[in-house]
């Protein structure tokens, strides 16, 4: 097992893409086998020494940012163990990068369908945050593709959970039996919204035990092996980036497009386009909104599909002549880069401003979306704080990014965020649809589930991590663990 302690070498592990500052740790540990993970976690548990698990560091909530103790890096646990082409299942270690996985799969005509957008994320990180990608409109989040997880708890005990084998209910007391001990857990009883959500532990009646660990943000154990289901690469995919002369026209188009079988349905507002114009001079000057979608198709259906989309786009006054279209992998890569440039440019602004962005990850049920969107615009325009709105409009899940330039704007942004949270909760929404809570969104989680719900999460964590060493301050403040008598 490699251990690094030189601050200049390990300091890159003290941050992620959230802009959260002040992280520190004594060492980074790179286990190369499960045995090494087990020994390390057992030692840390007996010494009550905090451990922060690190994936690719692309998270945007500060979840992998350590505040003391050791960092358990998964970089060396990076093998693709098996690709079963018949059963369409890949088994990987957590440190495999998404980009590496997709390259290996594409050699076999296969694809990992949820495909979260950041290629440098590790598979283990995406499972731990239940990430979703641009094609979430059709394929849904990571959770839907996880067939089996191997997890090492902080006690060193290993769980090997296969989907479909072990079901649990809200409020139930269960017991996990290991060679040396039994762990007793009380499953929380709060109710989750019936939409895509990555806010706190996943809890439902008659839920699969595996789902408790998906999206648990490094707080319950180290995921050491993952079996995920695969798909076949679609025969052909066409991608459209459509510019609109005004926001209303774009939103009306989205309403119609939601009824179609697209892979993705994404939106960028005027401020997003203005930012992108700095890099991409070919964005039409008269465009005020952009809707992006992709459609899988068979060769024989090409002209009918194109015609039907063009009809719908023209009906809603899209700037069709100036829009971007791709029907080859090479062209699509260019559009992918274009789309990916926006979060990159936002992160550059964050670094320049030296203040974290205040970025929402809120989703609401279908019926509440127009009201939520209006509320965003009203509050943001009144605030005069720089912002962009973009994201997964097909799932009523937009990322509002406020970009404060001063401390005063930062605290105002946080207060506006709380207004958004309250509005979303009143509409039956979630305060995090894909990024998780990390260290930055505790207050919003409490607004969603109340003190009782969050206390239930803390109590569950303590049952699985009795020494309370893993991912401290992720999901809820570590002070809550004191109230639950960690020992
Ligand atoms: C430009 C950009 C675009 C993005 N687009 C998207 C998007 O479209 N959709 C989306 O969902 N996210 C997106 N993200 C956010 C990010 O990529 C995801 O949250 C991703 O899942 C994080 O993976 P990671 O490996 O980088 O994890 P890290 O940031 O290293 O860690 C995230 C969490 O997972 C835990 N963890 C990591 N590995 C393990 C393990 N093996 N066992 C237990 N816990 C573990 C960590 O402790 C931490 O709590 C984007 C980020 C950027 C920078």
Name every residue whose Cβ is closer than 8 Å to that of residue 360 and which is 6 or more positions away in sequence. 398, 399, 400, 401, 417, 420, 431
* Average pLDDT score, the chain: 94
Residue 395 in contact with ligand 1 by CB distance below 6 A: no
| 430 token code pair | 């979630």
Rounded Cα gap, residues 148 and 89, in angstroms:
10
Please tell me the predicted confidence (pLDDT) of residue 344. Answer: 87
Residue whose CA is at the smallest distance from ligand 1 atom 3:
118
CB neighbourhood size of 334 (10 A): 13
Please tell me the predicted confidence (pLDDT) of residue 18. Answer: 87
**Strand pairing report for 27-30 and 70-73:** parallel
How many A from CA of 330 to the centre of ligand 1? 27
Bin 69: left if φ > 0, else alpha if -120 < ψ < 50, else beta. left
CB neighbourhood size of 408 (10 A): 10
Question: Is the CA virtual torsion 156, 160, 161, 167 positive or negative?
Answer: negative
How many A from CA of 199 to the centre of ligand 1? 14
**Where, residue-wise, is CATH 3.40.462.40 in the chain?**
236-426
**Where, residue-wise, is CATH 3.30.465.10 in the chain?**
1-233+442-487
How many A from CA of 425 to the centre of ligand 1? 24
How many A from CA of 414 to the centre of ligand 1? 22
| 187 token code pair | 């499953």
Does the pLDDT of residue 240 top 50, yes or no?
A: yes
**Closest ligand 1 atom, residue 142 Cα:** 11
Residue 141 in contact with ligand 1 by CB distance below 6 A: no
| 155 token code pair | 């006690």
Residue 132 in contact with ligand 1 by CB distance below 6 A: yes
Q: Which residue has the higher pLDDT, 316 or 115?
A: 316
Residue 219 in contact with ligand 1 by CB distance below 6 A: no
Q: What is the pLDDT of residues 361-398, one digit of tens each?
A: 999 999 999 999 999 999 999 999 999 999 999 999 99
Residue whose CA is at the smallest distance from ligand 1 atom 23:
125
**Closest ligand 1 atom, residue 436 Cα:** 19
**Closest ligand 1 atom, residue 343 Cα:** 1
Q: How far apart are the first and last CA of the chain?
A: 28
Residue 391 in contact with ligand 1 by CB distance below 6 A: no
Residue 124 in contact with ligand 1 by CB distance below 6 A: yes
Does the pLDDT of residue 483 top 70, yes or no?
A: no
Residue 222 in contact with ligand 1 by CB distance below 6 A: yes
Contact 305, 238 (CB under 8 A): yes
Please tell me the predicted confidence (pLDDT) of residue 484. Answer: 57
Task: State how far the alpha carbon of 411 is from the alpha carbons of 17, 21, 62, in Å.
Answer: 20, 16, 18
Q: What is the CATH number of domain 1-233+442-487?
A: 3.30.465.10
**Which residue from 100, 131, 228 has its CB within 8 A of the most atoms of ligand 1, so it is best to mutate?**
131
How many A from CA of 59 to the centre of ligand 1? 4
CB neighbourhood size of 144 (10 A): 15
Q: Dihedral (C-alpha) 481, 428, 380, 406: value to the nearest 10 degrees?
A: 0
Rounded Cα gap, residues 153 and 327, in angstroms:
46
Q: How confident is the model at residue 485 (pLDDT cuts 50, 70, 90)?
A: very low
Please tell me the predicted confidence (pLDDT) of residue 487. Answer: 41
How many A from CA of 19 to the centre of ligand 1? 14
How many A from CA of 65 to the centre of ligand 1? 12
H-run or E-run covering 187: none
Rounded Cα gap, residues 287 and 318, in angstroms:
9
Rounded Cα gap, residues 117 and 337, in angstroms:
10
How many A from CA of 16 to the centre of ligand 1? 9
Closest C-alpha to 401, from 56, 133, 34, 60: 60
Closest C-alpha to 96, from 130, 67, 120, 116: 120
Q: How confident is the model at residue 19 (pLDDT cuts 50, 70, 90)?
A: confident
Residue whose CA is at the smallest distance from ligand 1 atom 49:
217
One of 3.30.200.20, 3.40.190.10, 3.40.640.10, 3.40.462.40 is the CATH number of 236-426, namely: 3.40.462.40
Residue 210 main-chain phi, psi, to 5 deg: -60, -30
Q: Point out the least confidently predicted range of 69-83, 325-339, 447-461.
A: 325-339
The β-bridge partners of 71 are 28, 52
| Over residues 323-352, mean pLDDT | 88
Residue indicated by tokens 């995921």:
223
Please tell me the predicted confidence (pLDDT) of residue 123. Answer: 98
Residue 13 in contact with ligand 1 by CB distance below 6 A: no
How many A from CA of 142 to the centre of ligand 1? 11
Contact 162, 103 (CB under 8 A): no
Cα–chain center distance at 57: 12
How many A from CA of 125 to the centre of ligand 1? 5
Residue whose CA is at the smallest distance from ligand 1 atom 6:
117
pTM over 0.85: yes
Closest C-alpha to 272, from 338, 182, 365: 338
| 188 token code pair | 């929380």
How many A from CA of 56 to the centre of ligand 1? 7
Does the pLDDT of residue 399 top 90, yes or no?
A: yes
| 435 token code pair | 């990024």
**Strand pairing report for 324-326 and 387-392:** unpaired
DSSP H helical ranges for 174-246: 210-213
Does the pLDDT of residue 122 top 80, yes or no?
A: yes
Rounded Cα gap, residues 56 and 64, in angstroms:
9
HSE at residue 465, side-chain half, CA atoms within 13 A, is 31
Residue 54 in contact with ligand 1 by CB distance below 6 A: yes
Rounded Cα gap, residues 461 and 14, in angstroms:
23
Rounded Cα gap, residues 105 and 90, in angstroms:
9
Name every residue whose Cβ is closer than 8 Å to that of residue 114 and which is 6 or more positions away in sequence. 126, 131, 132, 133, 135, 136, 139, 140, 141, 142, 144, 145
Does the pLDDT of residue 207 top 70, yes or no?
A: yes
Q: How confident is the model at residue 336 (pLDDT cuts 50, 70, 90)?
A: confident
């Amino acid at each position: 097992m490699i251990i690094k302690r030189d601050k200049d070498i390990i300091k890159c592990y003290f941050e992620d893409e959230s802009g959260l500052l002040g992280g520190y740790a004594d060492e980074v540990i790179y286990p190369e086998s499960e045995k090494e993970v087990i020994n390390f976690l057992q030692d840390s548990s007996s010494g009550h020494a905090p451990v922060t698990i690190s994936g690719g560091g692309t998270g945007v909530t500060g979840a992998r940012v350590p505040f003391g103790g050791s960092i358990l890096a998964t970089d060396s646990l990076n093998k693709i163990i098996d690709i079963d082409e018949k059963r369409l299942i890949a088994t990987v270690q957590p440190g495999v990068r998404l980009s590496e996985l997709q390259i290996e799969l594409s050699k076999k005509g296969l694809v990992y369908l949820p495909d979260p957008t950041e290629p440098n994320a590790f598979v283990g990180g995406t499972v731990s945050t239940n990430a979703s990608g641009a094609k979430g409109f059709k394929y849904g989040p990571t959770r839907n593709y996880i067939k089996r997880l191997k997890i090492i708890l902080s006690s060193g005990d290993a769980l090997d959970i296969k989907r479909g084998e072990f079901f649990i209910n809200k409020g139930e007391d269960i017991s996990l039996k290991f060679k040396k001990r039994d762990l007793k857990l009380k499953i929380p009883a709060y109710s989750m919204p019936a939409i895509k959500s990555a806010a706190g532990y996943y809890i439902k009646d008659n839920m699969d035990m595996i789902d408790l660990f998906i999206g648990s943000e490094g707080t319950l154990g180290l995921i050491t092996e993952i079996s995920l289901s695969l798909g076949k690469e679609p025969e052909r995919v066409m991608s459209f980036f459509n510019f609109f002369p005004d926001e209303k026209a774009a939103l009306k188009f989205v309403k119609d497009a939601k009824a179609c079988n697209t892979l993705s349905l994404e939106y960028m507002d005027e401020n997003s386009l203005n930012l992108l114009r700095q890099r991409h001079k070919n964005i039409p000057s008269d465009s005020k909104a952009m809707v992006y979608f992709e459609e899988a198709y068979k060769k024989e259906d090409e002209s009918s599909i194109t015609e039907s989309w063009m009809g719908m786009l023209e009906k809603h006054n899209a700037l069709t002549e100036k829009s971007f279209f791709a029907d080859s992998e090479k062209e699509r890569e260019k559009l992918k880069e274009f789309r990916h440039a926006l979060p990159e440019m936002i992160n550059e602004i964050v670094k320049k401003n030296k203040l974290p962005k205040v970025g929402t990850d809120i989703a609401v049920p279908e019926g509440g979306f127009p009201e939520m969107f209006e509320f965003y615009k009203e509050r943001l325009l009144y605030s005069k704080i720089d912002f962009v709105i973009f994201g997964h409009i097909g799932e009523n899940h937009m990322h509002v990014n406020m970009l404060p330039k001063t401390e005063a704007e930062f605290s105002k942004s946080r207060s506006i965020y709380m207004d958004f949270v309250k509005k979303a909760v009143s509409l039956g929404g979630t305060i995090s649809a894909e990024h998780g809570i990390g260290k930055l969104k505790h207050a919003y989680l409490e607004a969603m589930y109340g003190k009782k719900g969050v206390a239930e999460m803390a109590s569950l964590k303590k049952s699985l991590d009795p020494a309370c060493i893993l991912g401290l301050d992720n999901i809820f403040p570590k002070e809550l663990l004191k109230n639950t008598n960690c020992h």
